[in-house]
């Protein structure tokens, strides 16, 4: 059935398109600015008062600067280990905890849920956490960035809510056929839970990728520090020398170094995110219908 838009509907549609285009431009311009400044010589940045969207001349000096000494490679290795191993363990323990908590027949279920909700409201603080990690011998170990946060209580509640929506008749039919709890989990529950698994995996991975404060507390060895802590150190160093940048027109532009650091740390997320973006909304909505 053809639907002819009225004049007011056409005007509203045009305004919507204009607003969406304006919103898209405001999102894209900062990325273009960051990339442009990262490859712009310091003399041109000073000449344009820092406003560079299309560089007249391209230089890779800032990227060469942040790659000196192999620190960037070490930081990437530390971060990839944390994201890969950490996300896998987070997902395993979250699913392993959420499934029994989603079953109303679990003895002591209410007490376990109260304990978990309590941890969402209160925590021990930085000093007790540091002392615990130190006593466990995890200082300067990548496991100090993974083990203390194996299960996020909020993500656990989302997964539990999703599992509660799965029909329990499926479990009962599987038990009649002789399947045990582990078989039910891996053969029945998990294949039906791909959206929420993808969502929680992405949440955990992004959290590991962006975290730096725990590494600041627990990791002193520079070769084991993750990417975000490396970026933070570069930004602080660049800010410290930025006051002399105008006098050293032939030196490395501290602003370009900052922008290059942002590019190398955010580019992997920008590349991966579009392929898994669809799971964000779908998974969270599926896991939040019941609570």
Q: List pLDDT tens digits, range 255-281.
A: 778 888 888 888 887 787 777 666 665
Position 245 confidence tier, pLDDT thresholds 50, 70, 90:
very low
Mean of pLDDT values over 21-31: 87
Position 79 confidence tier, pLDDT thresholds 50, 70, 90:
very high
Q: How open is the CA angle 62-60-206, to the nearest 5 degrees?
A: 60
Residue 197 lies in domain? 69-222+280-287
Each residue of 158-213: pLDDT tens digit? 889 888 887 777 777 777 777 777 777 778 888 888 888 888 888 898 899 888 89
Among 220, 255, 221, 260, smallest CA distance to 240 is for 255
Residue 56 lies in a domain: no
pLDDT of residue 169: 75
Position 291 confidence tier, pLDDT thresholds 50, 70, 90:
very low
Q: Which two tokens stand for residue 242?
A: 């930025």
Residue 14 lies in a domain: no
Whether 46 shows a pLDDT value over 90: the answer reads no
Asked if 291 contacts 161 with a C-beta cutoff of 8 angstroms, the reply is yes
Residue 266 lies in a domain: no
Tokens 């406003």, residue located: 51
pLDDT of residue 32: 85
Question: In the predicted model, what is the mean pLDDT of the chain?
Answer: 81
Among 68, 21, 36, 111, smallest CA distance to 222 is for 68
CATH code: domain of residue 139: 1.10.3720.10
Cite the DSSP H helix spans in 102-226: 109-121, 126-135, 153-165, 168-176, 181-184, 194-210, 213-218
Q: Which two tokens stand for residue 210?
A: 């962006």
Residue 139 lies in a domain: yes
pLDDT of residue 146: 93
Q: Which two tokens stand for residue 83?
A: 């994201």
Mean of pLDDT values over 67-96: 89
Residue 131 lies in a domain: yes
Among 207, 173, 202, smallest CA distance to 189 is for 173
Residue 229 lies in a domain: no
Residue 251 lies in a domain: no
pTM of the complete model: 0.77
Q: Which two tokens stand for residue 272?
A: 């991966």
Residue 156 lies in a domain: yes
- Report how many domains make up the chain: 1
């Amino acid at each position: 059935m053809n639907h002819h838009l009225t004049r007011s509907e056409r005007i509203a549609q045009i305004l919507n398109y204009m607003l969406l285009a304006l919103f898209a431009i405001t999102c894209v311009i900062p990325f273009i600015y960051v990339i442009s400044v990262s490859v712009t010589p310091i003399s041109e940045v000073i000449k344009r008062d820092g406003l560079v969207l299309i560089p007249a001349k391209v230089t890779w000096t800032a990227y060469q600067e942040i790659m000196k000494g192999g620190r960037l490679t070490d930081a990437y290795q530390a971060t990839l280990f944390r994201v890969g191993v950490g996300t896998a363990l987070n997902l395993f323990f979250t699913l392993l905890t959420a499934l029994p908590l989603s079953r109303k027949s679990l003895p002591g279920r209410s007490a376990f849920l109260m304990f978990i909700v309590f941890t969402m409201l209160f925590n021990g603080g930085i000093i007790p956490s540091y002392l615990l990690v130190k006593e466990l011998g995890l200082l300067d170990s990548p496991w100090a960035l993974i083990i203390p946060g194996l299960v996020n209580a909020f993500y656990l509640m989302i997964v539990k809510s999703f599992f509660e929506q799965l029909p329990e008749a499926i479990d009962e039919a599987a038990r009649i056929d002789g399947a045990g709890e582990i078989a039910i989990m891996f053969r029945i529950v998990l294949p039906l839970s791909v959206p929420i698994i993808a969502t929680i995996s992405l949440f955990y991975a992004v959290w590991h990728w962006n975290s730096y404060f725990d590494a600041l507390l627990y990791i002193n060895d520079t070769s084991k520090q993750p990417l975000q802590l490396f970026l933070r150190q570069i930004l602080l160093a660049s800010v410290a020398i930025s006051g002399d940048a105008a006098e050293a027109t032939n030196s490395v532009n501290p602003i370009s170094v900052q922008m290059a650091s942002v590019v190398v740390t955010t580019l992997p997320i920008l590349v991966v995110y579009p392929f898994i973006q669809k799971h964000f909304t779908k998974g969270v909505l599926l896991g939040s219908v019941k609570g």
